[in-house]
Chains A and B, each alone.
Chain A
Amino acid sequence: MTVRSMGLALGWLLLSSPVWAGDSDPLQSPMWGFHQTRFLGTAPYEFDERVVLTAPPFAEDSRQVPISIDASALGQEVVRIVAWAELNPIAHIFSFFPEGPVAPRIALNIRVEQATPLRAAVLTRDGVWHVGSTRVDAAGGGCTAPSAVRAEAGWEEHLGEIFGARFPAGEGSRLRLRVSHPMDNGLSGGIPEFFIERAELRGAAGQRLASLELHPSVSENPTLTLQLGEADAGQRLWLRDNNGNEFEAAF
């Protein structure tokens, strides 16, 4: 092979298959490779601007940092969304499996222990991960700060209370809610892990429309925003914590 043909081959490789070669990280984070291996394994991936991961530039409250992920540009092809905060002691935030009328969009609040890159990796049906990234600055300590929920007398009586509403959104609708739960991550005050680990959005007949696996980097009293392509789909939300408590809401 001549030098020229090698160059051509290399050029072809770069143009046609960045996915297989592994894209270069837009945030240039030294932790990317570690988490890529952990969450994506050996699957192909690309950094993709169609995955919009939004967070404020700085965390005003490290215990409640809002993040929003919108992969609707990838449409019906999305099968899973995994989000993580690279420098958190518990990096994994959630894994979300939207189906049917549930759009590949989600917003919730997280804790951050320090300034960190955030990632949302979106798996499409063809087996490729599409990665959106952003960075949040933070004074820190959000993961190890004492619980504000537990500081309030009688919080146990409110455990699992859900406040929320459905809002019209274009042709479809949006569900927003907040669940009373300390979401203890086991890192503060010798309190063991106690957190909502699973949620399912279901139709009126109980059929599953989307499922969500949560980890305790999600803030206490977690908020959740979900988007649906239909005005009234997703009438029931079911939640379960790691102690086996189940909670249910109706929309």
Chain B
Amino acid sequence: MRLLSLLVAIFLSLPLAAAELAYDLQPRQIAADTWLLEGSTENFAASNGGNIVNVAFIVTEAGVVLIDTGISKRYGEALRAAIGRVTERPIVLVINTHHHPDHVFGNQAFSDVPIASLARTRELLAEQGGAFADNMYRLLGDWMRGTEVLLPGETLEPGVREIGGHRLQLLAFSGHTGADLAIFDQTTGVLFAADLVFYQRALTTPQTPGLDVWLSDLEALEKLPYTLLVPGHGPVATGREPFAQMRDYLGWLDGLLRAAVAEGQDMNEAMRAPIPERFAAISLTRFELIRTVSHLYPKYEAQVFQRVDAGE
């Protein structure tokens, strides 16, 4: 009897143990020929499978142009299936906007398609992809199973490229990671800003060459005559609000770090600085402030420190 109840218990627990992790990807049309898979504005977590990023695709007459591939092999496969539910046309080009894991780790699902990026993006992914993968396996566990870094095989140059009736303006910037591609579809007026623009989600700084560089990138990007903006993270917008928020937030971060080093604060003091009420709607501000202080504080300190040893 006892053995039977044990077997029943094991049987009942089986469906749970064997439950497949699955991304529920529902493409949403946001403009003519243009579809979005909007991620959450949370951090990477097992509860969201790392689906925290915006991925978009354009169904051109020549085939599908995909912009970023998501966080895992499993995400890439679900993405490819979701595209297949929208159109029967083949995928003709996959673009990696920058080398961050949430934008490129789905590449394996498109290994039979040309995958393209800026030359520097490929170098950065080759250098840092392994460490990113270790970190993502730690954070996301089984969602990442089978995921390996697949480097883009083609190089994108800035300029206008026409694909299947869409004039795509490729713009190379560097403020977020050192190599950041934005894509302006002149045909539809949609600007894919990738992670140069975070909206309602705190921006991330681990590879930024400097907040000043990022601010000047935004100045150039904002001049484009877009009618719809797709940020790398957060909701799409028709107006200029995401740029206003980015400028405000980057300016605040820069000012906070400058003031903190000028007052002689240590890193923990800067990490605990108050976050202005006007940023209350932006998710993960404290989390990202702690990270940003870790990334950038030594650079800001260098601006107020002087050589004090006798060696000079």
Contacts and interface: CB of A to CB of B under 8 A. Distances in A.
Interface of A, secondary structure class, is strand
A164 interface: yes
A56 B138 contact: no
B80 to A, nearest CB: 31
A166, A169, A225 — most chain B CB neighbours (10 Å): A225
Contacts, number: 83
B308 to A, nearest CB: 4
A61 interface: yes
A109 B304 CA distance: 19
B308 A177 contact: yes
A160 B311 contact: yes
Contact of A176 (B268, B291, B305): B305
B302 interface: yes
A174 interface: yes
Question: DSSP majority for the B interface?
Answer: helix
A109 B310 contact: no
Interface residues of B, number: 27
Given A60-B290, A176-B301, A68 B269 contact: yes
Interface stretch (A8-16, A189-197, A243-251): A243-251
Nearest to A158: B311
Contact of A139 (B138, B310, B311): B138
A66 B267 contact: yes
A155 interface: no
Interface string A51-69: 0001111101100101110
B290 A64 contact: no
B116 to A, nearest CB: 31
Nearest to B272: A54
Contacts of A161: 307, 309, 311-312
B141 interface: no
Interface in B228-284: 263-264, 266-269, 271-272
B310 A66 contact: no
A228 B235 CA distance: 49
B135 A139 contact: yes
A165 B306 contact: yes
Contact of B290 (A56, A163, A169, A249): A56
Contact of A60 (B263, B294, B308): B294
Contacts of B309: 160-162, 247-250
B310 A174 contact: no
A5 B267 CA distance: 53
A135 interface: no
B145 interface: no
A73 B68 CA distance: 53
A163 B264 CA distance: 13
- Among all A-B residue pairs, the 3 with the closest Cβ atoms: A167-B264, A66-B267, A60-B294
30 contacts: A56-B271, A57-B290, A58-B290, A60-B290, A68-B268, A107-B267, A107-B268, A109-B267, A139-B135, A139-B138, A160-B311, A161-B309, A163-B302, A163-B306, A163-B307, A164-B305, A164-B308, A165-B264, A165-B304, A165-B305, A167-B264, A168-B264, A169-B264, A176-B264, A176-B266, A177-B305, A178-B298, A178-B305, A249-B308, A250-B310
Interface of B: 135, 138, 206, 263-264, 266-269, 271-272, 290-291, 294-295, 298, 301-302, 304-312
